[in-house]
Amino acid sequence: MKTTLTSIALAAFVMSLKAADSTPAEQVTAAAKALGGEANYSWKETVVVPESAQFKPGPTEGKLVKGGITYFTMSFGDNSTKIFLEGDKSAMNGPDGDWQSAKDMEQSEGPGRFMSRMIREFKAPAAQAESLVSSAKELKADGDAIGGEMTEDGVKSQFRFGNMTNPKGSVKFWVKDGKLAKYEFKVTGKADFNGNEFDVDRDTTVEITDVGTTKIEVPADARKKLDSQSAAATTSTNAPAAK
C-alpha cells in the first residue's frame, strides 16, 4: 500500500512539474485536448454585438457524445434551427419543419446555402479552442484566465464570408481541473461582402457544462434522415463502375 501511495504521489509531483514548465499556450492546448477526450459534454455560446448591428445571432446550445452524435441549436431572431451531426452526416429542421441534410441545403438559395456552409465548417468547442490558441500572437496569464491578442489572420479566420480590413481581436481561456471550462474571443474590423461594407464588432463566449453527464435524444425523423445518408453512401459505393 505504501509503495502504491508513493507511486501516485510521485506521479502527481511529476505532472505538476510538467504543468509548471509548460507555456500558457501549451496549458490551454492540453486543457482543450482533455475536454475533447471526455465521453460527452454540453456548451452554450453567446454572441454580443452592438445594438445597431443588423445581424444579431441568438445563443447557441450544444451537446456532444464522443464518437457519436453532436447536437446544437442556432437562433436568429425568433427562428431557431436544430442540427444533428454524426460523422459526415447531418440533419437540420428547415423552415417548413422537414429534416434536411447539409447537402440538401447547399442546393437552395439564400439562408439555406449559408446554413449548409456553417454546418460543414462546424467545429466543436474543444477543436475550436485549439484553433484559437494558434490564432493568438502570444498567450499569457491574465488573472484567473489565459489570454492574448489575435493575429490578423487569426481574426480573419473567424469570418466565413467577405473580405476583412483592419482586423483586430483578442482571446481568453479559463481552465479548471486540467480541462477547458470557458473561452471567449472578441473581434472587430470592417467586412466587404458583395460590394457592401459593414462594421464588425463581435464578442463570443462559450461555456462548457455537464462534462460526463450529457445525453442526447435524436427525434425519429432526424434519425431517419441521418440513416438515409448512410444508405445512400452504401448504394453509391456498391454501384457498378461505368464501362
In a domain, 71, yes or no: yes
Query: One digit per residue, pLDDT tens: the chain, 243 residues?
Result: 444 445 444 444 444 444 456 899 999 999 999 999 999 999 999 999 988 777 778 889 999 999 999 999 987 666 788 999 999 999 998 667 789 898 888 777 666 677 777 888 899 999 999 999 999 999 999 999 999 999 999 998 887 666 788 999 999 999 999 999 999 999 999 887 777 788 889 999 999 999 999 999 999 999 999 999 976 655 544 445 444
In a domain, 237, yes or no: no
In a domain, 4, yes or no: no
In a domain, 189, yes or no: yes
Query: 37 is in which domain, residue-wise?
Result: 24-228
Nearest to 223 by CA among 90, 102, 131: 90
Q: What pTM did the predictor assign?
A: 0.82
**CATH no. for residue 189?**
2.50.20
Q: Show Cβ contacts of residue 136 under 8 Å, excluding neighbours closer than 6 positions.
A: 25, 147, 148, 149, 150, 151, 154, 171
In a domain, 242, yes or no: no
In a domain, 8, yes or no: no
Alpha helices (H) along 22-124:
24-36, 102-105, 111-120
Alpha helices (H) along 37-101:
none
In a domain, 103, yes or no: yes
Cα(204)–Cα(116) distance, rounded to whole angstroms?
21
In a domain, 42, yes or no: yes
| Number of domains making up the chain | 1
Position 17 scores a pLDDT of 40
Nearest to 101 by CA among 188, 235, 240, 228: 228
